[in-house]
Each structure stands twice: as C-alpha cells, then as structure tokens.
C-alpha cells in the first residue's frame, strides 16, 4: 500500500483529492493538511510515501516546502498539484525531483493515470536488484527503445507508456479489457493503444475462441528500435 499525504490550502479541494486517491487501488490517504508548516509536520509524523503538494499555500510557497523536504532526511516522493503554470515554478519543481506535475483543475482520470504511473515506477525502483540498463530504463518509465516514441494523432505518450508497461509486465497475453483494468483507461482506448503497438511490431496478436466473437489477445515480444 502506498501511503499518501494531501496538501492543499482549500479544505473542499483537499477532500475531493483525498476521495480521488482512495478510489485508486493500492493507495491510501494517511493525512490531509492545508499549510506548508503543517505539511512538514505531517511528513515528519506520518512518513507518507507520496505527497500531493499544492504550490499556493497560505504561509509558505510550495517550492520552499519541497526544498525543505529535500534537504531533510524525509524519504518521500512529491507529486505537485497546482494551478501554477509559470515556467519558473514548473522548472523549479522538476529540478527538485518531483515525480509528476498536474495542473488544476483536473479530474479523477487525470490523477489516477499519474498515480498508476508512479506505482509502476516505484515498483521497479524498489526491486531487489536491477540487472541491466533496460531494467533501469523501465523503472524510470523511460524505455530505452520504446514502441511509443512516435504516436498517431489522438494518442498521448503518457497513456501509451502506461499501456506498454502493462503489456511488458504481464506474464501472459492480455485482452483489451484486461489491459483497461490494469491501466485505468477505457477498453476502447486500450484497444487503440494495443493495436498501435501491434502495428509497430512490439506485440503479437493471437485469437482466443469462445462463445461469440474471437477475443484478440496481445503479448509483448521484444524491444523495438526507435
């Protein structure tokens, strides 16, 4: 279970974000606070794995909270959730080692996608041993030879990477419905991304016959050149 601390100056928004997090399997909210000082105290006391950090806090700017977290012994990751679009704010957050940056306002699907990406990355980094560069690339969610480097219009790199990782990690072939369950996207969307991977040669397709129409199943075969 990945424990999450939600930090937002607005009580109602924080409550909504807590509800979003609790809907994602594998995540649990351990606290919700509304100021920078309270955020630092909560991290010290609750030891969350992940902090959802707003930047516009009433007492301390979020980047200053982030800087103090990084200079301390607190071992937690930070996902920024903010309305701040300024390039300086985004660059500052990225340089501080955040796992993602999500602009407000956002919906459940937007946050769920990023939480699932974080969970996949965390699983890779916490493996007992990373044996090769490919293992490290996958753990960092940056496949060295990704099949998703060139995407058709309408497909996003973030979702494509999530689908690719789901197929890579599967011990057996996946249907579009199974891929949708693992990634949190719709079955129709999963089918589009899987068919793209098939077109690039990254996955093979087999048919499973049962009652009704045959089910298309997808399996990762190898890395593809970018």
Domains and CATH numbers, the chain: 2-121 (3.40.50.2300), 141-220 (1.10.10.10)
Is the confidence at residue 179, as pLDDT, over 90? yes
Is the confidence at residue 110, as pLDDT, over 90? no
Model pLDDT, residue 150? 55
> What is the per-residue pLDDT across 43-84, written as a single tens digit (0 to 9) for each?
999 999 999 999 999 999 999 999 998 888 777 899 999 888
Among 186, 187, 182, CA closest to 164 = 182
3-state secondary structure at position 51: strand
Model pLDDT, residue 224? 39
Torsion sign (Cα): 129, 46, 31, 71: negative
Q: For the chain, what is the mean pLDDT?
A: 83
Residue 214 in contact with residue 226, Cβ under 8 Å?
no
pLDDT confidence tier of residue 145, bands split at 50, 70 and 90? very low
Residue 50 in contact with residue 77, Cβ under 8 Å?
yes
pLDDT confidence tier of residue 42, bands split at 50, 70 and 90? very high
Model pLDDT, residue 129? 57
Q: Kindly state the average pLDDT of the residues 83-88.
A: 82
Model pLDDT, residue 153? 74
């Amino acid at each position: 279970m990945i424990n999450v601390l939600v930090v937002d100056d607005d009580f109602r928004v924080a409550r909504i974000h807590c509800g979003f997090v609790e809907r994602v399997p594998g995540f649990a909210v351990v606290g919700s606070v509304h100021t920078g000082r309270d955020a630092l105290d909560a991290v010290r006391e609750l030891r969350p794995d992940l902090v959802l950090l707003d930047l516009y806090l009433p007492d301390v700017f979020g980047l200053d909270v982030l800087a103090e977290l990084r200079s301390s012994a607190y071992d937690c990751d930070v996902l920024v959730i903010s309305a701040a679009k300024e390039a300086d704010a985004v660059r500052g957050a990225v340089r501080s080692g955040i796992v993602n940056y999500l602009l407000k306002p956002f919906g459940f699907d937007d946050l769920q996608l990023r939480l699932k990406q974080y969970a996949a990355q965390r699983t890779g980094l916490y493996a007992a041993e990373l044996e090769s560069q490919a293992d490290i690339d996958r753990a960092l969610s940056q496949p060295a030879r990704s099949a998703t480097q060139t995407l058709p219009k309408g497909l996003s790199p973030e979702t494509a990477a999530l689908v690719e990782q789901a197929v890579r990690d599967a011990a057996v072939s996946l249907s579009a419905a199974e891929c949708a369950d693992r990634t949190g996207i719709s079955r129709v969307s999963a089918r589009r991304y899987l068919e793209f991977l098939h077109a690039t040669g990254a996955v093979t397709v087999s048919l499973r016959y049962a009652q009704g129409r045959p089910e298309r199943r997808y399996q990762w075969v190898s890395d593809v050149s970018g």
